Amino acid sequence: MKIATWNVNSIRTRQEQVKQWLIDNNIDVICLQETKVIDADFPLEGFQDLGYHTYIYGQKAYNGVAIFSRQPLENVKYGFGDILPSDLVNDFDEQKRVISGVINNIRIVNLYVPNGNSIESEKYQYKLAWLDLLKQYLTVLKQENSEELLVCGDFNIALEDRDIYKAIGKENHIMASQVERESLRSILNLGLTDIFRKFTPEGNFYSWWDYRQGGFTKNRGWRIDHIYLTDELVKKALNCYIDINPRKLTQPSDHAPVICEF
């Protein structure tokens, strides 16, 4: 079984690339981020023709998440509000960033974590508050359900210096600040393991490269797209890797897919 995560940076722009990649790689479940389209305009038909059941949660021009699965998902949840009380969620679900569903007793949680813009901005404070809400969301999922958890997506955080091509001076940089890393580690302390690092402990592997200044050709990347597993799933994982080939295409997403095999 192959489960993948990929920030596609507009599904309508990248739909043919995504469809071909799914065919070439025989993917069972794919979690997409930054789909950037309202549900009514999502190009579902082409993916359904490939045999995928489609679950979408989008908004116009920004954000948006989706899960495609060859098997139907059970108990699909959209946003924080399907799990947490409204007085905690407030307006956080106005941005479509969370979707989850169950397959083979695994709850797959697909996330698009806010970028935060810069550590001096209000968007940074929003990101930290969003991460705190995510911790509460995952805590409830673990307490109230028997399924194992697979939490994946674009986290917009490089957890360690080896996840950045040049870590010097990044301690006050968005996506690498100490506070962001501590927030993510606090979430992982719920019992989640970075499965990529089980198979690839060394650095120089990235999932995102800036479009500017030859980021990809010079491999000036960041590893900010992650797959985290609870303990029983860690035992079943056979491999986890980043496929950089889609990043070599004409007009690619700036992210590459990450795949976990069971």
Measure the CA–CA gap between 61 and 13, rounded to whole angstroms.
Answer: 12
Smallest Cα–Cα separation from 163: which of 124, 192, 100, 206? Answer: 206
Is-contact 185 159, C-beta < 8 A?
A: yes
Backbone φ and ψ of 132, nearest 5°? -65, -40
User: Which residue among the candidates 52, 57, 112, 206 is catalytic per the annotation?
Assistant: 112
The answer to whether residue 241 is catalytic is no
Q: Is 225 helix (H, G, I), strand (E, B) or coil?
A: strand
Q: Helix, strand, or coil here: 231?
A: helix
Please say if 112 is a catalytic residue. Answer: yes
Secondary structure of residue 183 in the 3-state scheme: helix
Q: How many CB atoms lie within 10 A of CB 163?
A: 26
Measuring CA to CA, how many Å separate 227 from each of 4, 33, 58, 86, 212?
8, 13, 21, 28, 26
DSSP 125: H
Contact 153, 65 (CB under 8 A): yes
- Eight-class DSSP state of 7: E
Rounded Cα gap, residues 107 and 101, in angstroms: 5
Annotated catalytic residue, options 28, 154, 163, 225: 154
User: What is the rounded distance in angstroms from the CA atom of residue 191 to the CA atom of residue 230?
Assistant: 6
Helix (H, G, I), strand (E, B) or coil at 113: coil
Q: Which residues are designated catalytic? A: 112, 154
